[in-house]
Amino acid sequence: MPAYRYPVPPAHEITPQAAWLNRRALMAGLGAGALTGWGGGALAGLSLPEVADWPGSTDEALTPFEVATNYNNFFEFGTGKEDPAANAHTLRPSPWAVEIAGEVERPLTLDIEDILTRYPMEERIYRLRCVEGWSMVIPWVGFPLSLMLEDAGLTSRAKYVEFFTLYDPEQMPNQTSSILDWPYREGLRIDEAMHPLTLMAVGMYGEVMPNQSGAPIRLVVPWKYGFKSIKSVVRIDLREDRPVSSWEARQPREYGFFANVNPEVRHPRWHQATERRLPDGGRIRTEMFNGYAEEVAHLYEGMDLTENF
């Protein structure tokens, strides 16, 4: 598999960090009309209900809006970092439904409007670190995945959760390529999925999710590398056996199932001991579990995290 090289936005195109210190006032001033440019009509008539602050958020400086929404991995729309923002206007985030099936007592199909009103929304500022060695700090809006799984009622055989992205080459044109076996699939162990940090995100920066960032609903698992946080989810299967995720199937030496941020595990093509905080924060030390060790390290007691990477 080729080693892709992605462009970094030039400094003159980046909003100064200070402009985001009062982000809510700024978002209110922008208004929904201005935000439709994120992904060529990403709002699609959707709107967020009342959103509460989450007390556990990091107090790190936010990544500027333009960087977070124009520097993405979303291979359904191209392999370049700028491709999703340029191409994701073809995605139609409404109507949309998420099916929950498999080892559940009450299989569910929830449309996105129902999801937006069914679950209490919180704004959580989480770090996102990608395996390529860069990181961001993003204010996500969403709700714990555990609420959705509890609604479906897990059976005693539910040991893993598998997630599926929409498969529709008309909406996601790069699904005609052979870079992955589509649709995109990811998985978590059940205790990871039920952890209170694991988020189903429906928005960011105070508005609904832009197309290129995973509209209308995506997973965010903040202690894992970004490829685990699957975008544009349409199906969640509870299962007894461990699933094989898309990048694990494509390159198992580079992308392990667990994908916990671990500076001691070297990627075959680059090191993981430091990361580049976008847009221009320089290189910083990579923290174990992306800085969430206190909350999640107990999930992996007794495991060899270099073997189970």
Q: Parallel, antiparallel, or unpaired: how do β-strands 97-102 and 233-239 relate?
A: parallel
Residue 37: alpha-carbon gap to chain centroid: 20
What pLDDT score was predicted for residue 6? 32
Q: Which amino acid is residue 275, in one-letter code?
A: E
Structural tokens at position 167: 């498969």
Measure the CA–CA gap between 217 and 173, rounded to whole angstroms: 19
Whole-angstrom Cα distance, residue 67 to residue 130? 14
**Number of separate helices (H) and strands (E) present in the chain:** 8, 13
What pLDDT is recorded for position 92? 97
CA distances to 21, 29, 68, 280 from 17, in Å: 7, 17, 12, 10
Domain ranges of the chain: 11-300
Residue 241 backbone phi and psi in degrees, to 5: -100, 155
Please give the CATH superfamily to which domain 11-300 belongs: Oxidoreductase, molybdopterin-binding domain (3.90.420.10)
pLDDT at 43: 55
8 A C-beta contact, residue 99 and residue 114: no
Q: Tell me which residue of 188, 182, 75 sits closest to 132, measured CA to CA.
A: 75
Q: Please, which residues have CB within 8 angstroms of residue 112's CB and are 6 or more apart in sequence?
A: 46, 93, 94, 95, 96, 97, 98, 202, 216, 217
User: Rounded to 5, what percent of the chain is helix, strand, coil?
Assistant: 30, 25, 50
Confirm if 132 and 204 have CB atoms less than 8 A apart: no
Rounded-to-integer distance, Cα 297 and Cα 118, Å: 31
The confidence score (pLDDT) of residue 271 equals: 80
pLDDT of residue 267: 79
- The Cα 298–Cα 181 span in angstroms is 33
> Residue for token digits 């909406």?
171
Sign of CA dihedral 216, 177, 138, 99: positive
Contact 205, 65 (CB under 8 A): yes
Name, in order, each residue with C-beta under 8 angstroms of 309's C-beta and a sequence gap of 6 or more.
Answer: 256, 258, 259, 260, 262, 265
Nearest to 247 by CA among 186, 306, 291: 186
CA quadruple 17, 18, 21, 24: dihedral sign:
negative
Q: pLDDT tens digits for the chain (309 residues)?
A: 333 233 344 443 344 444 433 444 444 333 333 343 344 444 568 999 999 999 999 889 999 999 999 999 999 999 999 999 999 999 999 999 999 999 999 999 999 999 999 999 999 999 999 999 999 999 999 999 999 999 999 999 999 999 999 999 999 999 999 999 999 999 999 999 999 999 999 999 999 999 999 999 999 999 999 999 999 999 999 999 999 999 999 999 999 999 999 999 887 887 889 999 999 878 999 999 999 999 999 999 999 999 999
